[in-house]
Structure 1
């Protein structure tokens, strides 16, 4: 399935906080045993159930809370809260045996009751967990004893292990709060946690500090303190990294990343991520029907966009599954860049430039539409400008609309009042694209482009319901090909993730699991003089 992150772009407008200026000026170099990570904006919450901020999700999943198992660098499952696990012969029951030495930060033990309760919260519609669909095939979660919990599935399927991985929450703390109030609970800014780190302090729009959990029994953090420093400007982040006032920055632009290559005290790191960028077409728009979407997609030169705007730090996206997904079919070809074919197909669809003004029309209707982007995201704005020129080359008139983030969300996701948007999603490791593409997800998911295809609905249901991956691969191949052919999105690119750090930071290996996936192993060798 996909883990959706609508605020991936980090759209915040914050004055540089005076307290942060004082903190950095008084502290010329970070202390040893403390790592300072620069971020562009503050966390929204520290609760998985209502987090949308990408950095916050990393902290939740890799620092504060445990999942039943965790993925290693090869994306293989390893024990974590669960010591071991086993499926029943029919694949419909998954039994986890939990460790008995994982405690919450208030001293209470983590038990099977917490696992069951987390599932109950996640599926509660009053909580509105964005990824609740991951549990669609879970029939019940049964506590056998304090350290044994069983997931009962409606049917055996391939991604059951993936879908039961969610940061476990403390029942003894949250059960006192009505489900409808979870999103605003004080817990979200002061959580009781059970992971390798604990929250020490949170100064809004300033600094969030975590301390190593000395009682964590699995892998004790190598550093005693990790602080996230809010610096709402990439150039300021860069300057503070160069002076050693922060140690690590992630999600760098290609331009900034390349400018750091010659810095002797800085190490850069490029790694694969889980994000893909796309143009989302409103499939219910009378002009933007399948044949037009397909033709317009052929007018888009992805490689030019990648070379011009990302300095080559991306790969073209081909379709609805990411290359790391086990069901991804690398033999399927993306829609080619072929403006001549685009013109021919638009002609065949009745869209012709009869008056020679460069814009096609049909039955008195101009081939014109608006591409919406969110304010503050320069890359998306630049993509829209390039798309405008590329589409004009085949006779389509694309106007550009820039909206503040809250207005963008309201107009696109609530009112469905848009023609096309430039956006990106973060994909999860399991294969469950139904929240993006199933017709049911128009009302209860993320199918905001209103794509409807009964054949795709059937493929999604069939592929999801098979336990044998090899048996389901032909289904997933047909699904991918159908989406490519229908062009509800124009898939653009998969950007490389770019990070930089002080050369005294060791073992900070990053990969598709996230930039904090190995945070417990990070350490600072010495401080700068």
Structure 2
């Protein structure tokens, strides 16, 4: 293990300087000719310009530590940064840390900070700010949902103004990814002493918040003191909220909206051949799930959860929800590649109506029952998926009662452990630990919002977190995926592909598999 960490530390010291805007290739790029020389490509491109980016869903708040919604993460990657980030090729890259060294035992990480970083309020970033920001995760009373990503951290010390040392309780293979993950922002020391960041942003990112009118628009402008000239080319970004995907599509077709990430994949077939647009389809590090309230009868019985899994036709659900623009999943999105146990290799994945009925009878529910299922009004895929599942489960005697709520209600109940059975969708996880630990590890180390409280699962996740050898980690996560398929605390349904649409004058938008809008930091306007 020592030699592995020694090689790793040398590797990161060598490759740091190459991080910047690069390119990734979509699964399909049907109507864009950007990969080949054309008359348009010869048009001069300069920094500046404005993009109107359309979306149908608003974020409840902008707090990078206390707001868990993906809609927040999509926006705040433009305004905030961590010590690291994970690029579109799933490689850890430097951000506010220029370099780092890892001790041979894997328990001490020493970060050398950039000395040219400023916050949007004009203050220069120092080690004091970094220590303050990451110690928020260690403060149980603070209540950040990202605390589970940092339970291995024992202490954070300031060596000097540009050097910070993280000492771990045990080796933690995912620390570098966690430092630049969903909750990995650096903010000025003392930010939360007299307020919060729900409605403002004081980060170090390439764009600063100028104005936010909730449920209408958000205006960002280029931050002139930004430390890098490799991102942040636009003068202004307006994030425009539209009522629904039909309105979003109309805005794109009319040219009123410059770019968008479509959330309703069914619109892909309607625009993929439009010669006036760039249309790209990418695999995503995202999954959709049916999450059980595991502490509520009858869903506290694994046989009931298994029966529901056996009663669902995932392929039918995926087609109804995405028009086939996605992939059925077992226990992990396919974009995780070698980490994934194939659907065919997992238990209970084939629809089996008679087997489901037998399990319900064994659990004492031969006559079925009513099952609540919550969906979110602004998530277009949820209604058709819920209707398919309701039809599927009616065949095994379960009546599904669909309840629709807005995102704010959903987040409040989820965060307070009051959510009923519900659909869920999230992404941004760049390592299996970040996918599983926070969500499925029992409290207090994990969040366990599904109230699974499973001892075997928690042990596996603890073992994987400290294991640094790739093959051994793979075996542990394989075991966890099999446990997910047999215990069924949640039913992963499908991974929707990401659909990026833009006008021809928008170039160099590099889609990130998380679905967060990193691409706007690289985008330019062709003039």
Answer yes or no: same fold by TM over 0.5: yes
1:158 aligns with 2:173: yes
Q: Retained in 2: the 8 A contact 1:351–1:367?
A: no
Q: Retained in 1: the 8 A contact 2:82–2:186?
A: no
CA apart distance, 1:233 = 2.5
CA apart distance, 1:167 = 4.0
Q: Retained in 2: the 8 A contact 1:438–1:452?
A: yes
- How many angstroms apart in 2 are the aligned matches of 1:487 and 1:129? 27
Q: Secondary structure of 1:294's match?
A: helix
CA apart distance, 1:170 = 3.4
Q: Secondary structure of 1:174's match?
A: coil
1:511 aligns with 2:526: no
Q: Secondary structure of 2:478's match?
A: helix
Q: Retained in 2: the 8 A contact 1:292–1:349?
A: no
Alignment-derived partner of residue 9 in structure 2: none
1:440 counterpart (440, 443, 447): 443
Distance 1:513 1:281, change over 3 A: closer
2:345 counterpart (317, 328, 332): 332
Instruction: Trace 1:431-470 onto structure 2 (pairs within 5 A).
Output: 431-432=432-433, 433-440=436-443, 446-470=447-471
1:170 aligns with 2:171: no
1:193 aligns with 2:193: no
Alignment-derived partner of residue 372 in structure 1: 374
1:399 counterpart (401, 412, 415): 401
Q: Retained in 2: the 8 A contact 1:339–1:394?
A: no
User: Gaps (5+ residues) in structure 1?
Assistant: 1-30, 353-359
1:78 counterpart (93, 105, 108): 93
Alignment-derived partner of residue 239 in structure 1: 250
Alignment-derived partner of residue 219 in structure 2: 209
Q: Which runs of 4+ in 1 moved over 6 A?
A: none
Q: Secondary structure of 1:484's match?
A: helix
Q: Retained in 2: the 8 A contact 1:250–1:515?
A: no
Instruction: Trace 1:61-460 onto structure 2 (pairs within 5 A).
Output: 61=77, 63-165=78-180, 166-172=183-189, 174=191, 177-178=193-194, 181-182=195-196, 187-218=197-228, 219-288=230-299, 289-319=301-331, 323-324=335-336, 327-330=339-342, 332-333=345-346, 335-343=348-356, 345-346=358-359, 349=362, 360-361=366-367, 366-405=368-407, 408=410, 414=416, 416=418, 418=420, 420-432=421-433, 433-440=436-443, 446-460=447-461
CA apart distance, 1:246 = 1.5
1:52 counterpart (50, 62, 68): 68
- How many angstroms apart in 1 are the aligned matches of 2:208 and 2:82? 16
**CA RMSD, aligned part only?**
2.7
- How many angstroms apart in 2 are the aligned matches of 1:115 and 1:473? 32
Of 262-271 and 238-247, deviating more is: 262-271
- How many angstroms apart in 1 are the aligned matches of 2:206 and 2:449? 37
Aligned residues: 474
1:430-486: CA deviations, max 9, x gaps? 332233223326xx7542332233222221222212232322322221111111111
Of 455-464 and 342-351, deviating more is: 342-351
Q: Secondary structure of 1:142's match?
A: strand
Q: Retained in 1: the 8 A contact 2:86–2:177?
A: no
User: Gaps (5+ residues) in structure 2?
Assistant: 1-46
Of 246-255 and 430-439, deviating more is: 430-439
Distance 1:43 1:380, change over 3 A: closer
1:375-422: CA deviations, max 9, x gaps? 45443222222111111223333333334555555666646473x322
Distance 1:453 1:132, change over 3 A: closer
Distance 1:168 1:321, change over 3 A: same
- How many angstroms apart in 1 are the aligned matches of 2:223 and 2:380? 39
